[in-house]
Structure 1
Amino acid sequence: MKIVKNYLYNTAYQLFAIIVPLITTPYVTRTLGSTGFGVYAYTNSVIQYFVLFGSVGISLYGNRLIAFDRDDRERLSSDFWSLVIMRGGTIALAYFAFILYLLCVHQYRVEYVFQSIQIIAVIFDISWLFMGLEDFKRTVLRNFAVKLISTVAIFVFIKSPSDVGKYILILALSTLIGNILLWGFLKNRINPIKSSNITFLKHFRGSIVLFVPQISMQVYLVLNKTMLGSIDGVQSAGYYENSDKIVKVSLTVITAIVTVMMPRMANTFAKRQFKQLNSYLYQTLDFVTFSSILLTAGLAAVAPTFSVWFMGDAFSITGRLIPVLALVGPMIAWSTVLGSQYLVMTKKEHQFTISVTVGAIINVIVNIPLISLFGVMGAVIATVIAEFCITLVDIYYVRKAISDFKGFEGKWKYLVSGIITFIVVRVLNSSVPGTFPWLILQAVVCVITYFIICFIQRSSFSSVIINSVQRYLRRDRTER
């Protein structure tokens, strides 16, 4: 029941996180223009490297550590304060490195300074504590409040292309304020700090193990925008940023279940309940496969008209980028479940590191020639190739860990459903106006078509839904 409750909390926020960009992105892209938004995307991609190196893998490591510690308050408090102080030191070093970088650049200095607030914000980020405790209510309420305030601020203060700095400042300050707010929920959860209980060495080693894969992940997630800005111009970085944002924001509702399951998987593994562990894995994998293929089919089908309606004519090129980039949907869903939820939470960080490192290396190798030849489309293709390779390596290691692994049995049914759904909706998309009512109609047709085909094939998740509805109806009749 707690898993369901946490998933509903997390999904409610993820839905809100989707609605906010639906409101702000059309306004921001039209107000700042492709160049202004490109400046934001490019400078943000650079600042993420300093955020990454200052974080040293603590978020993922801390989430798992707290899940192991949560039944021992003394050890929990000791580990919490050790991680907080350690991250404070690494962030100080990262900000010093940023100042050195700022002295060497001559373009977008003001924008970089505003973006650097994100580095400082990391010091106060303790969301990993509440995730490890499976208390998603705190982080969700915090995120709701911050998103709401920042959304209002965008409409109040962003009025012209010259307001790029204000836009960056609003987003960075909202991150900082949101992180600070979480500290108000520490009471009765963590004991006061004791210097005698502070340890750094073991935690530094543990976080570094998870830091290496995060470096690799950041390479192929952020490097694309950095390379596009340097090779093809900041406009291309803006095109990629918006295409990527639409796909990734849509995926957050699906991967919300993984965020909820990570501490539960870690705790189950610590108790050596391996049969239950595998059951959690199969259930999550089935859900994300069903959902991500539906998402991919829908996004790819409506992209040509949706991109112009959503972002304006200046971003019409994203109508060609999104269908290709949407292919990463199932791959990200699978690699998140197999990598972050299973390999990391069962202390197989080495295998997880190899998978994302392979993806990062391949991304770098193919990025330069593909961007040089095809511009922003080259970066999109490179992303798809990298995600495909990561997923393959994750599958390989999970199959080694689980000798009779059956996670992909029957999943071809979802693929067939997705292909047919894509064809139906794309034909509809090409024959109707690109207006909001017609886009809503296409979304409804997409979902209904996909569900019907899954039902006809008796796919596993559609059977779960049908059985759940039948049990609910029987219970309702019994109560009457």
Structure 2
Amino acid sequence: MWLKKKGLILKKTRTIKENFLMNIILMGSAYILPFLMTPYVSRILLPEGMGKISFATSVLTYFTMFAMLGVPTYGIRACAIVRDNKEKLSQTVQEILLINIVMSIVMYSVFIIALFNVPELSENKFLFAVMSSMIFLNVIGVEWVYRALEEYKEIAIRSIVMKALALVLTFILIHQQEDIVLYGAITIIASSGSYLWNFISLRKYVDLKPHSKYTYSIKKHLKPISIFFSMSVATTIYTNLDVVMLGFLTNDIQMGYYDAAVKIKMLLVAVVSSLGSVLLPRVSYYLSQGMTDEFKRITSRALNCILLLAVPLAIYSMLFARPIISLISGKAFLEAIPIMQVLMPTIIFIGMTNIMGIQMLVPLGKENWVLYSEILGACVNIAINIILIPKYAAYGAAVGTLIAELCVFLVQFWATREYVVSVYKKINYKNMFIACFLAGFISNVIIKKFIISTDIIIILISVLLFFFIYGITLILVKEPEIMNVLENIINLMKRKK
């Protein structure tokens, strides 16, 4: 909703809580709906077929990364700063979008050459060709504009609609192992189908027609984009190189095991990262207006909340990895259990670096530190993968990812120590881990005592028990953030009465 004031066109912003809720829905839809396909599809395509899809997705992620440069993050900051002025916003969007379009043409040319000359790609040529549409869709998706304007509701609705469509198509069309290319196309609908809708609706917020009154300057974007692009390269390397190296050094079956574990990890990362990703436009705006106290207050609370959520999620998933893998992917994927258990602590590290890096260092103009941390993470990941993958396959890749995420966390902790040391000191780790221990111990005892053997029943009962006991324990010890949430719920209920 646009408001007029003093010759400017102002965007009415929603509260952090509203944005957080919408972003949970958005990020949840990005993983939950496709996740619902997995129990069905994995039993049809089996580890080999799922491995091929995972390998194609990871390789094409690199081409998409070069086409996008660093725009998904830089675009949010650049547009958030000028979002109160529609003319400046429109000019900024046009400039950045032009850069993206030129790069996408270049990357499609490189992709076509690779498709016919790299054996690992050409042997699944049709699958790669179909899934390469993700490059084009990501470029025109302009989700960074909607995030800068804090229009999470719109992108959440579109995402859910397209993912629901993909889910229906999966059950209708995928029936045998030979349907792998068709499933590849459906995964693109699920992940990127809403981007075309985003582009069509963009005219509600910005003017896409070039105007002579605009003083275009592509050059001013190139330096910051190059920094964000370098960050994107480093991040993509250490988050996707494990899958790519598995594809070149092992086989599709090992990739299938790894993919099963990574899917679960990424679903939980989406939940943990939901709060952090809504903060970037808001904290960028606060800092541009000199509101440093608000910046410190929001980021401090965010770090505390992320830990309170990420730690129990990681511990629960490690304890109940077997029924989770068995239910979601099937008995053929049981070798993914230790892989998943190794990956689970990364949920904590990623949650914290999402706040310290993208939500603190970037708005502070210290994105170089994010780049340094990610370069270190990429180098560590490559080195460990080279050593461990040939011998331990998918398990070795999981160890490399865990150590890489720890290195990224340590560098960003050092870079933000001025702000975060006091926050970390105030967190009551003892209460948190006592709550997790009680929750894990009691849920395990009850499930074993009643000899529950059905995977879905184990998960339903263990989730309810674990998180109920965790929450009650934190309430009893009066954990401040939990008490704040409880107070908000009580106030909301009173208002409804």
Distance 1:100 1:408 in 2: 53
How much does 1:148 deviate? 1.0
- 1:384-423 alignment runs, 5 A limit: 384-400=402-418, 402=419, 405-412=422-429, 413-423=431-441
1:465 aligns with 2:485: yes
Residue 7 of structure 1 is matched in structure 2 by 20
Q: Summarize the Cα distance change of 1:94–1:426 in structure 2 as closer, same or farther, 3 Å threshold.
A: farther
CA offsets per residue over residues 228-263 of structure 1, 9 Å max, x none? Answer: 111121211121122111111122122111121110
Q: Where does residue 452 of structure 1 map in the other structure?
A: 472
- Paired amino acid for 1:184: I
User: What amino acid is the match of 2:258?
Assistant: Y
**For residue 317 of structure 2, what is the amino acid of its counterpart?**
L
Equivalence for 1:88: 101
Given that residues 48 and 252 in structure 2 are in contact (C-alpha distance below 8 angstroms), is that contact kept between their aligned partners in structure 1?
Answer: yes
**Are 1:351 and 2:369 counterparts?**
yes
> Residues of 2 paired with 1:231 and 1:394: CA distance?
31
- 8 Å CA contact 1:305, 1:429 repeated in 2: no
Find the partner of 1:366 among 384, 389, 410.
384
Give TM-score scaled by structure 2 length.
0.91
Q: CA contact under 8 A between 1:120 and 1:176: conserved in structure 2?
A: no
**Aligned-residue offset at 1:328:** 0.8
- 2:222 is matched with 204
Letter in 2 for 1:458: K
| CA separation of 1:404 and 1:387: change in aligned 2, threshold 3 A | closer
What's the RMSD between the two structures over aligned residues?
A: 2.0
Q: CA deviation at 1:454?
A: 2.1
**Given residue 102 of structure 1, which amino acid in structure 2 is its aligned partner?**
L
Q: For 1:42-75, what per-residue CA distance to the aligned partner results, in whole angstroms no more than 9, with x for missing partners? A: 1211111111111110110001111101012221
- 1:120 equivalent in structure 2: 136
**Which secondary structure state, in structure 2, belongs to the residue aligned with residue 442 of structure 1?**
helix
Gap change, CA 1:435 and 1:8, over 3 Å in 2:
same
For the Cα contact (< 8 Å) 2:29–2:159, is it kept in 1?
A: no
Quote how far apart the aligned CAs of 1:137 are: 1.5
- Deviating runs (4+, > 6 A) in structure 1? none
Q: Which amino acid aligns with 1:25?
A: T
Question: 1:187, 1:88 → 2: CA distance?
Answer: 18
Q: How far, CA to CA, are the matches of 1:291 and 1:175 in structure 2?
A: 25
- Tell me by how many angstroms 1:122 deviates: 2.2
CA contact (8 A) 1:425 1:442 kept: yes
Closer, same or farther: CA 176–260 of 1 in aligned 2, 3 Å: closer
Aligned partner of 2:408: which letter?
I
Give the C-alpha shift of residue 408 in structure 1.
Answer: 4.7
Say if 1:281 and 1:342, in contact at 8 Å, map to a contact too.
yes
8 Å Cα contact 1:297/1:421 also seen in 2: no
Whether 1:221 aligns to 2:234 is no
User: Contact conserved, 2:26 with 2:152, CA < 8 A, in 1?
Assistant: no
Identify the match of residue 311 of structure 1 among 324, 329, 335: 329
Alignment partners' CA distance in 2, 1:418 and 1:213: 34
1:180-204: CA deviations, max 9, x gaps? 1112322342133226533211112
The 2-side partners of 1:356 and 1:219 are apart by 9
1:27 corresponds to which letter in structure 2? Answer: Y
Q: Which of these residues, 175, 183, 192, is aligned with residue 159 of structure 1? A: 175
In the alignment, is residue 194 of structure 1 matched against residue 211 of structure 2? yes
Closer/same/farther in 2, CA of residues 467 and 174 from structure 1, 3 Å limit: closer
Per the alignment, residue 286 of structure 1 pairs with 304
Contact 1:309-1:434 at 8 Å conserved across structures: no
| 2:353 counterpart (325, 329, 335) | 335
Deviates more, 1:418-427 or 1:135-144: 418-427
User: Residue type matched to 2:440 in 1?
Assistant: F
SS of the counterpart of 1:346? coil
Amino acid in structure 1 at the alignment position of 2:33: V
Alignment partner of 1:102 is 2:119: no
Q: Find out whether 1:51 has 2:67 as its counterpart.
A: no
In the TM superposition, 1:228-239 aligns within 5 A as: 228-239=246-257
Work out the CA distance in 1 between the residues paired with 2:135 and 2:420.
43
User: Which one is further off, 165-174 or 422-431?
Assistant: 422-431
User: Which of 39, 47, 61 is the matching residue for 1:34?
Assistant: 47
* Separation in structure 2 between the aligned mates of residue 408 and residue 241 of structure 1, nearest angstrom: 36
The separation in 2 between residues aligned to 1:87 and 1:14, in whole angstroms, is: 24
Aligned length: 476
Query: Residue 304 of structure 2 contacts residue 427 of structure 2 at CA under 8 Å; is this kept in 1?
Result: no
1-side partners of 2:203 and 2:104: how far apart?
Answer: 25
Whether contact under 8 Å (2:377, 2:408) holds in the other structure is: yes
Q: Distance in 1 between matches of 2:318 and 2:148?
A: 35
Q: Does the aligned pair in 2 maintain the 1:91–1:122 contact within 8 Å?
A: no
Aligned-pair CA distance for 1:349: 0.6
Q: Return 5+ residue gaps in structure 2 as ranges.
A: 1-13
SS at match of 1:26: helix
Structure 1 residues 233 and 403, CA gap change in structure 2 (3 angstroms): closer
Give 1:432-447 correspondences, 5 Å limit.
432-447=452-467
SS for the counterpart of 1:405 is: helix
Deviation at 1:90, TM superposition (A): 0.6
Structure 1 contact 301–429 (Cα < 8 Å) conserved = no
- Distance in 2, matches of 1:408 and 1:201, equals 43
Structure 1 residue 426: Cα displacement: 4.3
Equivalent-residue separation in structure 2 for 1:230 and 1:408 (angstroms): 44
Gaps of 5+ in 1: none
User: Contact (CA 8 Å) 1:24, 1:151: kept in 2 or not?
Assistant: yes
Q: What's the CA shift string for 1:327-354, capped at 9, x where partnerless?
A: 1111111010111111112211111111
- In 1: Cα distance, 2:447 partner to 2:246 partner: 30
Greater shift in the superposed pair: 59-68 or 244-253: 244-253
Q: CA deviation at 1:407?
A: 3.9
2:103 partner letter = T
Deviates most, 404-413 or 27-36: 404-413
Residue 411 of structure 1, CA deviation: 4.1
Instruction: Normalising by structure 1, report the TM-score.
Output: 0.94
The one of 299, 321, 344 aligned to 2:339: 321
- What is the aligned-residue identity percentage? 22
Name the stretch that deviates more: 325-334 or 366-375. 366-375
CA distance in 2, matches of 1:427, 1:377: 29
Is the CA contact 1:302–1:425 (under 8 Å) kept in the aligned structure 2? no
Mean Cα deviation higher: 208-217 or 434-443:
434-443
Distance 1:24 1:185, change over 3 A: same
Query: Following TM superposition, by how much is the alpha carbon of 1:410 offset from its aligned partner in structure 2, in angstroms?
Result: 2.0
Distance 1:165 1:406 in 2: 49
Residue 417 of structure 1: how far off its partner (Å): 2.6
